[in-house]
Structures are given as structure tokens and as C-alpha cells.
């Protein structure tokens, strides 16, 4: 497998020859997408701007929910923010969700040239690895925060790289994969039964985690650190807009 990791979307383009792009925004867009689809949501239509989201809602059926955040907080007039806690089955089951977030939906747009695209979080780590096993070329795209590399996304990229190393022959493009794996090994390498607690602590140390703590969303860190809570992989099922469902 040829494996490319970009610690930010801007580091290198996702090529149209890439089999699978894996978008990573641990805090919190891809954790929200995983949670909602696992809880029965029908699909996520993703877009980059608030205006685009509102326009999309007008052309869609009345049952759609407007979702997302700006500066980590719910957007005026939207139905849901960007906390996994809001996406329970009683709220999202069978619903179409339109999502715009600061970094996550930007990373999705940046990865759109790939033949296939999936959303990864710690919540679906093992399921994502099963999805990647037979791909010839994979590009992990870390969303970062406002154009800066963030440890929480690098950590998940490192966890994926570490597992792929033990499962398939890897041909690395660039050194981002090595850096990510080193961070995962140094911070989380021992495994053990307290892994989710230690991951929550690490997320609290990351830029994305500190941002969330500052605005009162500390409880979301544990919600995004529950490794393998779900066995679903959000997969792009349509383009224009990039739409994710469960295949
Ligand atoms: O709401 C979030 O979790 C973040 C906000 S930001 O990264 O601090 O701008 O948005 P996301 O696009 O999910 O990273």
C-alpha cells in the first residue's frame, strides 16, 4: 500500500489516483459524523460555508437538520452544534444532516479528488482499518485547526499508521506518517485497559482540546476518545455536495 499522510490539508494535494482519502478531525467533525451515522442518521451533506448550508436546506426536504459550528459554538438558527452528545438516535434517526464546520468540512473539500473518501475518528478506528486493508493507495488528511497542525488529529493518523504497519507492506510518501506514528507511540503506545482515559487526557493537552475546554465543551473530549465505540465507517456516497452515509 502506498501511504500518504498530510498533517494539514494544505501540505500536499489529494490526487485523483488516490484510492481512499481518510479525513481526520477528531475534535470534532469526524467524531460527530461517526456518532450520528452509528445512531441511525441517513446521511451527511457537507459544505464549507454557513450560507451554502442554508441554501442546501432550502432545496432539500423539510426533514433535514442544519448542523455545525463556528468558534466551536452552535450557529444561529441551526438545529444542532458540533458535539457528539447532540446526535442521539432519537434526534437523528433517518434524518439527513447538513454539516458545516470550521476545519472538518474544509478538509473534506480538500480531499474530494480521491476515488473514495471516508471519515475517521477514534470512535471507529478498527472499522476504518478494515475498510483500508485492500486499498492500493491511501491518503490520511488531518484537518488541523485554523491552518495549524493539531496533536489530536496527528495522534489518530499515528494510530492508523501504526496499525497499518503491522498489517500490510507500506510505501510511505513523505515523512508525516513517521512523525504521526512517533507521537502515537510516545503518547499512547503502552495500550492497556485505561487507554480511553489516557487518550482523553492527551486530547485535553492538544490545541483542539484546549479550545473546547475554553468554551465549556470539556466533556466532549471523553466522547471523542472512546476507541472503537462504533463499528461504522462514514463513506462518501455522492459528490456536489460531498455526502456521507454507511455503505
Ligand atoms: O467545533 C469544533 O470542534 C471545531 C472548532 S475549531 O476547530 O476550534 O475551529 O471545529 P472542527 O471543524 O470540527 O474542527
Give the tens place of pLDDT for each residue, 194-220: 999 999 999 999 999 999 999 999 999
Ligand 1 atom index nearest CA of 69: 1
The helix, strand and coil proportions of the chain, stated in percent and rounded to the nearest 5, come to 40, 20, 40
> How many other C-beta atoms lie within 10 A of the C-beta of residue 223?
19
Ligand 1 centroid distance, CA of 89 (Å): 22
Determine which residue's CA is closest to atom 2 belonging to ligand 1: 72
Q: Is 3 helix (H, G, I), strand (E, B) or coil?
A: strand
The pLDDT, as a whole number, for residue 193 is 84
pTM recorded for the entire structure: 0.97
244 lies in a domain? Answer: no
210 lies in a domain? Answer: yes
Long-range contacts of 183-186 (CB under 8 A, 24+ apart): 183/151, 183/154, 183/155, 183/158, 184/155, 184/157, 184/158, 184/159, 185/158
Place of cell 500500500: 1
Mean pLDDT computed over 155-161 = 98
The pLDDT, as a whole number, for residue 223 is 98
246 lies in a domain? Answer: no
32, 68, 211, best to mutate for ligand 1 pocket (most atoms within 8 Å of CB): 211
Q: Does residue 191 register a pLDDT over 80?
A: no
Residue 198's domain comprises: 2-239
22 lies in a domain? Answer: yes
Ligand 1 centroid distance, CA of 167 (Å): 32
What pLDDT, in 10s, does the model give residues 42-84? Answer: 999 999 999 999 999 999 887 899 999 999 999 999 999 999 9
247 lies in a domain? Answer: no
The CATH number covering residue 8 comes to 3.90.1560.10
78 lies in a domain? Answer: yes
What pLDDT, in 10s, does the model give residues 11-35? Answer: 999 999 999 999 999 999 999 999 9
> How many other C-beta atoms lie within 10 A of the C-beta of residue 169?
7
Ligand 1 centroid distance, CA of 43 (Å): 20
Is-contact 150 207, C-beta < 8 A?
yes
How many structural domains is the chain composed of? 1
Distance between CA atoms of residues 168 and 164, nearest Å: 6
ipTM of the complex: 0.93
Amino acid at each position: 500500500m502506498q501511504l500518504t499522510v498530510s498533517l494539514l490539508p494544505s501540505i500536499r494535494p489529494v490526487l485523483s489516483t488516490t484510492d481512499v482519502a481518510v479525513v481526520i478531525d477528531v475534535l470534532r467533525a469526524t467524531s460527530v459524523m461517526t456518532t450520528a451515522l452509528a445512531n441511525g442518521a441517513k446521511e451527511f451533506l457537507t459544505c464549507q460555508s454557513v450560507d451554502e448550508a442554508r441554501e442546501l436546506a432550502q432545496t432539500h426536504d423539510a426533514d433535514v437538520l442544519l448542523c455545525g459550528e463556528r468558534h466551536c459554538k452552535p450557529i444561529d438558527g441551526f438545529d444542532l452544534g458540533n458535539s457528539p452528545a447532540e446526535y442521539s438516535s432519537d434526534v437523528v434517526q433517518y434524518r439527513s444532516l447538513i454539516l458545516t464546520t470550521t476545519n472538518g468540512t474544509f478538509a473534506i473539500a480538500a480531499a474530494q479528488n480521491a476515488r473514495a473518501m471516508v471519515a475517521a475518528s477514534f470512535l471507529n478506528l478498527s472499522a476504518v482499518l478494515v475498510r483500508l486493508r485492500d486499498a492500493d493507495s491511501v491518503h490520511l488528511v488531518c484537518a488541523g485547526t485554523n491552518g495549524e497542525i493539531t496533536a489530536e488529529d496527528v495522534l489518530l493518523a499515528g494510530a492508523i499508521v501504526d496499525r497499518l504497519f503491522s498489517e500490510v507492506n507500506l510505501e510511505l510518501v513523505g515523512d508525516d506518517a513517521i512523525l504521526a506514528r512517533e507521537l502515537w507511540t510516545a503518547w499512547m503506545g503502552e495500550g492497556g485497559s485505561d487507554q480511553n482515559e489516557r487518550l482523553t487526557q492527551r486530547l485535553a493537552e492538544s490545541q483542539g482540546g484546549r479550545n473546547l475546554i475554553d468554551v465549556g465543551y470539556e466533556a466532549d473530549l471523553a466522547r471523542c476518545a472512546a476507541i472503537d465505540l462504533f463499528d461504522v465507517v462514514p463513506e462518501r456516497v455522492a459528490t456536489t455536495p460531498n455526502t456521507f452515509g454507511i455503505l
